Structure formats: C-alpha cells, structure tokens
Structure 1
Amino acid sequence: MTYFDIFLWVVVPYISLTIFVLGHIYRYNTDQFGWSAKSSEFLHKDALLKWGSILFHYGIVFVFFGHVAGVLIPKGFYDAIGISEEMYHFGAVWFGGLAGVATVIGGFLLTVRRMTNKRVARNSAKMDLLTLLWIGVVVVIGFTNTVGYTASGGEFDYRTTIGPWFRGILTFRPYPDLIAYAPIGFQLHVFAAFILFALWPFTRLVHVWSLPLEYLTRKYVLYRKITPRRTIREVNRRN
C-alpha cells in the first residue's frame, strides 16, 4: 500500500464527508429558498417526466437501502439470522440489479427531457444536468460491478472488505488496505460516490432531507363548492 492509496481511501473520503456536512449547514443557512427539488412539472408535463421520475426515484430508494444492507450492516449479522451467502447474493443481484436498471432508465429519461425540451432547458441550471449525469456514472459503475462481477462468480466480497473499510471511516478507524487491493470497478464506484457526496450540498439533491413528514399527521383540508350568490348573501348577512 502506497501514500497514494492512503490519500485516495482516507484523505479523500474525509474531505468529501466534511464538505457534505458543512456544505449542507452552509446551504441551509444561506439559501433556504433554494432548498427544494425545483420541480419542472409546471413548465411541461409529459410522459418522460412521469415515467422518468417514477423509475428514478423508486430505483434510487431501493439502491440506497441496498447499500445500507450491504455496506453498513456487517456480514456477521446476516450469518446470525440465517441468511446464507447464496441467499444474500441472489437478492443483491436480482433486486439490486432491477433497482439499478430502473434508476438508469429513469435518469436517462429525465436527462433526455432536460436536454431536448427547450422550455425546461432554459430554466435549468447547469448543475441540474451535471447531477443527473454524475448519478448515472455512479449507478452504472455500481450496476456493472453487481451484474458483471458478482453475478459471474467473482471471488471478491465487498461485505468483508469495502464494508468494514467504510464503517471504519465513519468511526474514525480507517483501514485503507481493505479497499486498496479491491477490483478497479469497485474502487471507481466508491471514488465516484465520494465525488457525488462533495457535490451534494450544492445541488437540488438537498431536497432529500426535506421529507414532508407533517403530512402524516396533518388534518384533511376540506374544499366546499360555493356559488357567487351564496357568497354575497353570507357576506351581507355578516355585515
């Protein structure tokens, strides 16, 4: 292992995560008005937006939880609850593969719409397109690793290498040697993901943290149809 490996797998992750945390704090304190998804539906609603948004958002949610299951949760936990290696990889390949395909197709449709629809393109920031393209890079590389390497019987197990390395980064006990000798595809996926984390606070991705949880407990809003004559009579009666 070289100093370059330490830079890639220790220094870069901490720089990225520091920008991720401080960038969100700065963005929230200076640009709350821009803290949104900036929906373009009111500009032009079409099939590309409908299906692209559905596929992308559902796909990326399952991709996220797949990474939580494979990287943040130790392999020993699955062994303890009786999930074998074959069962785990079956779910990772098929369910993770489907989520990856949905994300890629959805992102492609949204990118095409943003590039070809003149009205949407005029009202889009360059960072919006960059975000979609870079998410596509991260997902495609990860999807290629899952299907092309894991499904083909590769012996590399990211749950015993990349997983402990990433958990070590979060607990300030990094072990760069666990990832320094990983296949290049996995290294590219991880590096691209940390670039995305550094870009995150300065893109529309910040809206991920603005979940409308109050809708779960908010009372229903009642709408009643009234006629102009009835409204005038009620106003006159009150006066």
Structure 2
Amino acid sequence: MIPMTPTDAGHAVDAVAPTALDHILWGVFPYVVLAVLVGGLVWRYRYDKFGWTTRSSQLYESRLLRIASPMFHFGLLVVIIGHVAGLLIPKSWTEAMGVTEDMYHFMALSLGTVAGVCTLGGIVLLIWRRRTNGPVFSATTVNDKVMYLVLVMAILAGLATTLLSAGADLTGGHGHDYRETVSVWFRSIWILRPDVAAMAASTFAFKLHVMVGLTLFMLFPFTRLVHAFSAPVQYPFRPYVVYRTRDQHPNRSERVVRRGWEG
C-alpha cells in the first residue's frame, strides 16, 4: 500500500520523497525568482523610467493589432483570474461553499480551455504581425524574441495540463488534482515554509508549466511586460490641457496681434 501524505485539510496525495533537485527547484528557485522580480522592478523604475513602456507599434500597423491585442489581453485576464482562484483558494474552502469537485473541475476545464485558446490565438497573431510587417519587425529586439518564446512556452504548457486533464475525464479517469500539490506548494512559499514534497508529487506537465512560469516572472522586469505593473494613479489628478484658438476675431480688438514667426 502506498503511504499517503496529508496536504490540504484532510486531502492527501501520494507521498514522493523529494530529491536534491526538487529542493533546489521548488525550495530555493522560487525565492531567487522573487528576489530578481522585486529587485529588477525597483532597478527599472529608478534607472529606466523612460523604458518602462510597451514600445507600442500601433503607429506602424493597427488593423491586425485591433484584433490580436484584445484577444490576447482578455484571454490572459481570465487565465490570471483562474490561476489566482486555483492557487490561493484552498480546496476545503470551495467545498465548504458547496462547490463540488465535479463542478469546480468542469468550470476550470471549460473556462481554462476557452481562455487558453484565446490567449494563444492572440499571441500567435501578434507574433505573425511582428514578423510579417517590416517596420514592426525592425523595432523587435532580441529581448522581445526571448520574451515571446518564454511566453508562448508558458501558454502551451498551461494548455497541455488542461488538455491532459480533459483527456483523463473523457477516458473515464481522473486528471491530476493540482490543488492538492501545486496549490499547496504555492501557498507554502509565502509563509517561508516551501512544501517541496507536495510539488514533487505533481506530474511532469505541471512541473514544466510552473518552471516556465517562474522563468517568465524572472524575465518580467527586463522586458516590455513590465507595463503590466503600471497603473494610471495620477490620471485623475492631472492638470487640465489648455487649448487656444488661432482664429482672429476683429470685433474683439481693433488691433491684429502678429505672431512672432509671421513676417
């Protein structure tokens, strides 16, 4: 009989003895990522405020951008909400609210698939636009190419975990329940007690998805993705823009004022 290890309010997963590599990947690397993320954001804000931008290429091409950008961003928004709900809300809480495992699984698979496909379709269109449009491609840096590569890998890895879970359901089995492994490990990081054993018990697909995701967050401060941390806080308090007409109204004054650049 395989021994079981409790993870989340009475739920259990198959116990797996963590290796030295597991301790490095799931016990040390997350804190390295956090240090680089926070330190990189502080450095970028202090020394590269002018570069804290998306470097928009809408001026070069806007027709395809109007389709691809909303598709990518709205799909990504749903993906982020799903990740926050799945990683931060314990399984016992959703069960206490009357959400059964089948209900949660159905919502996660259906919304996750739709959001993942939209996000992937949006990023593919954005890459196609960037590659086929001359001025846009000329404005693409090596930094952008690396960012796109890691971002696409993260999306594909996330879709793979969703499709594998859906495939297990179709064949009458049960997909891997990440809320008993990945979610437990994720929450343990923030209390400085990483549950390496919980992450070690996860499947290879989820481990790959998490590793690519951590790499993406480590690159975040040094790419155009940094604009995600921007917020128009000062917008409501901005000064008014004063407009002055150039029309002359002789009835207001008998003297015509000549501008300095006029002969």
TM-score (ref. length: structure 2): 0.82
Question: Contact 1:145 / 1:186 at 8 angstroms: preserved in 2?
Answer: yes
- After superposition, the C-alpha distances for 1:173-230 in whole angstroms (9 at most, x for unaligned) are 1011111121110000000001101101100111111122445x46997998956234
Does 1:147 pair with 2:163? yes
Query: Residue 191 of structure 1 aligns with which residue?
Result: 211
Single out whichever of 104-113 and 8-17 deviates more from structure 2: 8-17
Map of 1:62-77 to 2, 5 A cutoff? 62-77=78-93
**1:229 counterpart = 2:248:** yes
Q: 1 CA distance for matches of 2:201 and 2:152?
A: 25
Distance 1:145 1:230, change over 3 A: farther
Question: What SS does structure 2 have at the residue aligned with 1:228?
Answer: coil
Range with greater deviation from structure 2 (206-215 or 160-169): 206-215
Partner residue in 1 for 2:55 = 38
- The aligned residue for residue 27 of structure 1 is 44
| Structure holding more helix per residue | 1
Count of residues in Structure 1 that have an aligned counterpart in Structure 2:
237
Once the two structures are overlaid, the 10-residue window that deviates more, 112-121 or 129-138, is 129-138
The structure having more radius of gyration, on CA atoms, is: 2
1:12 to 18, 23, 29: 29
Match of 1:210 in 2: 230
Q: Output the CA distance in 1 between the equivalents of 2:253 and 2:31.
A: 65
Q: CA RMSD in A?
A: 2.7
* Percent identity of equivalent pairs: 37
C-alpha separation in 1, matches of 2:231 and 2:254: 39
Partner of 2:144: 128
CA 1:219 to 1:20, structure 2 compared with 1: closer, same or farther past 3 Å? closer
Q: Matched residue of 1:53: which SS?
A: helix
Instruction: Identify the residue that residue 19 of structure 2 maps to in structure 1.
Output: 2
Could you tell me which runs of 5 or more consecutive residues in structure 1 were left unpaired when the two chains were aligned: none
TM-score (norm: length of structure 1): 0.90
Q: Does 1:55 pair with 2:71?
A: yes
The letter of the residue matching 1:7 is I
Alignment partner of 1:229: what SS?
A: coil
Correspondence 1:79-98 to 2 at 5 A:
79-98=95-114
Given that 2:22 and 2:196 are in contact with CA atoms closer than 8 Å, whether structure 1 keeps it comes out as yes
Measured in 1, the distance between the counterparts of 2:142 and 2:254 equals 51
Alignment of 1:95-134 (within 5 A): 95-134=111-150
- 1:72-129 superposed Cα distances (whole Å, 9 cap, x missing partner): 1111211121111111111111111111000000000001111111101111222122
Whole-angstrom CA distance in 2 between matches of 1:61 and 1:123: 26
**CA–CA distance in 2 between the matches of 1:116 and 1:229?**
49
